[in-house]
Structure 1
Amino acid sequence: MSDIACQAALAAPDTKTPGAAWPAVFSLSFGVFGLVTAEFLPVSLLTPMAAELGVTNGAVGQAITATAVVAALAGPLLVLGSGRLDRRVIVWALMAMLVVSSVLTAFAGSVGVLLVARGLLGFALGGFWAMMTALALRLVPPADVPRAMSIIVMGVSVATVVAAPLGAALGALWGWRATFLAAAALGALSLLVQLLVLPRLPSVGAPGFASFRAALSRRAVLIGFATVIIVVSGHFAGFTFIRPFLEEVPRLDVATISLALLAFGVGGFLGNPVAGMIAARSPAWAAGGVSLLIGAASLLLALFGGTPAVAFAAVALWGFAFGGFPVAVSIWNARAAPDLAESSGALLSSSFQVAIASGALIGGFLIDGIGPHGVIVYAAAAVVLGAGVMLTLGRAAERTRAGA
Structure 2
Amino acid sequence: MSTNTASTTVISATPGDAGPHGEASGPRRASWAGVVSLGLGIFTLVASEFLPASLLSPIAADLGLTEGAAGQLVTATSIIGIIGGPLVVSALPRVDRRWVMVGLTALAVISNVLVAVAPVFGLMLASRLLLGLAISGFWAMSLAVTSQLVPADRLGRAMTVVNTGLTLATIAAVPAGAILGELIGWRTVFLGAAAVGVIALAVQVLTLPSVPPTGSPSFRTLVRTAARPVVALGVVSIVLIAGGHFAGFTYLRPAFEEIGGVTPATLALLLAAFGVASFVGNLAAGPLADRALHVLVIGAPSAIGAATILYALWGSDPVVSVIAVVVWGAGFGAIPTMVQTWMARVAPDRLESAGGLVVAAFQTAITIGAAVGGVLVDSVGVQAALLGGGVTAVIGGVVLASAKAR
Please indicate, yes or no, whether the TM-score normalized by the shorter chain is above 0.5: yes
Deviation at 1:85, TM superposition (A): 1.1
Provide the residue aligned with 2:3 in structure 1. none
Asked if residue 4 in structure 1 is aligned to residue 10 in structure 2, the reply is yes
Q: Which residue of 2 aligns with 1:208?
A: 218
* Alignment CA distance shift 1:115-1:77 (3 Å): same
Matches within 5 A, 1:1-400: 2-8=8-14, 12=22, 14-204=24-214, 206-391=216-401, 393-394=402-403, 397=404
| TM-score between the two structures when normalised by the length of structure 1 | 0.94
Amino acid at match of 1:371: G
Measure, in 2, the Cα distance between the counterparts of 1:118 and 1:347: 22
Stretch moving more, 146-155 or 106-115: 106-115
1:28-68 Cα shifts (integer Å, max 9, x gaps): 00000111111111111122211222111111111111101
Q: 1:281: Cα distance to partner?
A: 2.5
Deviation at 1:280, TM superposition (A): 0.9
In structure 2, what is the Cα distance between the partners aligned to 1:144 and 1:55?
A: 48
Deviation at 1:188, TM superposition (A): 0.6
Q: Which moved more, 1:328-337 or 1:202-211?
A: 202-211
Cα deviation for residue 321 of structure 1 reads 0.7
- 2: CA distance between counterparts of 1:387 and 1:205? 28
In terms of mean alpha carbon deviation, does 28-37 or 365-374 score higher?
365-374
CA contact (8 A) 1:284 1:390 kept: no
| Matches of 1:364 and 1:219, distance apart in 2 | 31
Instruction: Identify the range of structure 1 (276-285 vs 382-391) with the bigger mean alpha-carbon deviation.
Output: 276-285
Deviates more, 1:276-285 or 1:57-66: 276-285
Contact 1:28–1:152 under 8 Å retained in 2: yes
Determine if contact 1:59/1:111 at 8 Å carries over to the other structure.
Answer: no
Unaligned ranges ≥5, structure 1 = none
SS at match of 1:333: helix
Do the aligned residues in 1 keep the contact of 2:215 with 2:350 (CA within 8 Å)?
Answer: no
Say what the alpha-carbon RMSD is for the aligned residues.
1.7
Q: 1:110 to 1:366 in 2, by over 3 A?
A: farther
**Shift in Å, 1:317:** 1.6
Which structure 2 segments of 5+ residues have no match?
A: 1-6
Shift of 1:250: 1.3
**CA separation in 1, counterparts of 2:214 and 2:340?**
21
Deviation at 1:113, TM superposition (A): 1.6
274-283 or 30-39, which deviates more = 274-283
Q: Which residue identity is paired with 1:42?
A: P
**Matching residue's letter, 1:331:** T
Task: Supply the AA of the counterpart residue of 1:175.
Answer: G
Contact 1:50 1:56 (C-alpha < 8 Å) held by counterparts? yes
Q: Which residue identity is paired with 1:157? A: T
**1:205 positional shift:** 5.9
Quote the offset at 1:191 in angstroms.
Answer: 0.1
Partner AA of 1:153 in structure 2: N
Percent identity over the alignment is 42
1:82 and 1:206 in contact (8 A); partners too: no
Select between 3-12 and 128-137 the one with higher mean Cα deviation: 3-12
Q: Distance in 2 between matches of 1:358 and 1:221?
A: 20
Q: Is the 8 A contact 2:279 2:330 kept in 1?
A: yes
Question: TM-score, normalized by length of structure 2?
Answer: 0.93
Contact kept in structure 1, 2:43 and 2:168, CA below 8 Å = yes
Contact 2:305/2:391, CA 8 A, preserved across alignment: yes
Greater share of helix: 1
Render the CA deviation track for 1:178-236: whole Å, top value 9, x for unaligned: 11111111101000111111111233564223312331232321222111100111111
Distance 2:23 2:293 in 1: 24
Q: Which amino acid aligns with 1:223?
A: L
Cα gap change, 1:381 to 1:17, in 2 (>3 Å): same
